[in-house]
Structure 1
């Protein structure tokens, strides 16, 4: 479904995988979400200027 919002729990899972250096493809497989979704959130996380660990601690 297009533009379906994802939960904060799912965002934290993406952040956790990114902090462990998982590839976008591996994250999408593990969490059953599209690579485009992972890529978009990764881009948003990087543009925040904070590292993944800092974002996880928010």
Structure 2
């Protein structure tokens, strides 16, 4: 039984170029049209327009 549950956790999922992924992060700063998001120990800078499709529109109006 134990081996079966371990196998399920390590099951590979296909990720290809063009695949959509979702990441959770903490917004650490917003400058004009740039957003700085902390994901783990890394801070990633993203254009607001690139986030638009994934964000609730009410967040963008603030």
Q: Structure 1-normalised TM-score?
A: 0.29
Greater gyration radius: 2
Higher relative contact order (CA 8 A, sep 6+): 1
* Higher relative helix content: 1
Q: Structure 2-normalised TM-score?
A: 0.29
